[in-house]
Every structure is written in C-alpha cells, then in structure tokens.
Amino acid sequence: MAKPLLIYLDGKLVPETEAKISVFDHGLLYGDGVFEGIRFYNGRVFRLTEHLNRLYESSKSILLTVPLSFEEMEKATLDTIAANGLRDGYIRLVITRGVGPLGLNPYQCPKASVFIIASSISLYPQEKYDCGLTMVTCATRRPTVAALSPQVKSLNYLNNVMAKIEAIQGGGEEGVMLNEQGYVAECTGDNLFLVKRGEVFTPPISAGGLDGITRRAAMDMLKEMGVTIHEVNMTRHDIFTADECFLTGTAAEVIAAVALDRRLIGDGKPGPLTQKLVAKFKALVNSTGTPVTYPV
C-alpha cells in the first residue's frame, strides 16, 4: 500500500487520516477562507514567493489574520513536501477563518486554521495535452467585481463548480465564462489566450478573471520569444475566428484548446506557437524555483 500522506495542520505534520477540521470551522460552513494551488517540479517549487504574496493579499482583502509569518508559511510548505519525499507534485495551501459559533460574524472565530497538502494532481489525461481541449460556453457568469474581487482566491468556488458542471454536461472538458457584459473573463479554472496572425490576445484582469501566476509566466515567455501581447476585451467571436487558443493555470499548466461550442479553432489542432510555448514552459518549470531540502 502507498505510504499515507503527511498533512501540515496548524503547526504539526499529521497522517492524512488524522488531518481533520471542526464542523464548526467557518471555512466549511461559509466558504470563509483563502487558498493557493502551487506546483513543484524536480524538487523545486515554481514561483513560490508569488503564490504566497497572493495568498497574503487575498487574506488581507477579507480581513483574515494569517497565524504564520511569510517566512514560517514558506518553511511549512517546503517542509511538507520534504516530509512526503515528493519531487514533483501539487500543493494545496488553505487558510480557513477557523472555529466559531454558528452565524456569519467572523470576529467570533478567535484563530484561523492552516493546512497544507502536498500530493499529485492530473487535471486532464495526456491525450488532451497532445490533442487539445474542447470548450463549451457556460451560462453561469463570472460575478461582477462589485460583488467580490476575482483576485481573492476564496474557498467559495461554487461559481466555478457550476460552470464546470455545465462544461462537462455540454460535452466539453473546459468552460468559457463570460462577465455580465458578455465579454470573456476566463475559463472555469484557467486563463485564456488567443493567437491571431502571430500575435497573442488575452482578456484584461478587469474583465473578471484571476491574475494567474502561470498567466504571468506565459506572458513573460511570449515576450522573450518576441511575440506581441494584447490585453483586450474579447467575445466568443474572437475565439471562433482565432488561429490558436491555449489555456494557462497552475493545475492545467499550459494546454491547447481546439474547439468552442462545436466549432473548431484554427485547424482543430494545437498550433505551432502554443507548442513552442508548452516546450518553453516545461523547460522553465524544471529548471527554476525555490529548492526543497530533503532529509538525508
């Protein structure tokens, strides 16, 4: 049998069977908390500092006091990976509001809870990385920024979950989410990019998508490749008429999308620029990052 995972939970590494939170935790009761998904490759954590910066910004935005300093959180993350002997995988770092009485009042939760899972993740089968994803436009819209900033990675992901259900029931692997004005915001868990006439287009963050860390990495690499990038509002028409489309996200990495609503994008295959970017991304993640110190 596989060795049980060790989970960081409020200052201790415990076996996964013992990693439990209270039914009175406001993260469970109300989705009151924040999280980060982080990748590590070849014993190095990809853009760990950027992820932790975003985690603390999300926490600050919802007035959630993190019980660990930045340095302590970094160490806890690296120690959790090392304790499990993993060299490649995925981290789910979660901060919940903590235990409190029934009722919305977050000030009645005296201390936040932190847990860190270091494991593996496979968002799509290899076939989809080779041949590309099929997408469906979701009827579920991204919430307006006046309701909750999309830059807060909160534990309430019901909006994304419902859109993912629509995508799957519609015969796709991924769903395109629009904002209230009908412009493309993002996919259910990824940022979206288009290629047309050798230039790249992506929705601005103001359209309602997350300022993704893999999105930033992709934009940096495209600039290094000499590719012009435009952040512009776009509609489904722009996706239908693009030469190529690819998605970026921590879990998904960089992956081609080849159809939307039963319409092929380009020739219905991963395009040349997308393939070059995927290769460059793989080289980047396997050669950079915060190193993990493993026990001898």
Q: Which amino acids are annotated catalytic?
A: 153
Residue whose C-alpha is closest to residue 137's, from 171, 108, 96, 110: 171
The position carrying tokens 């853009």 is 47
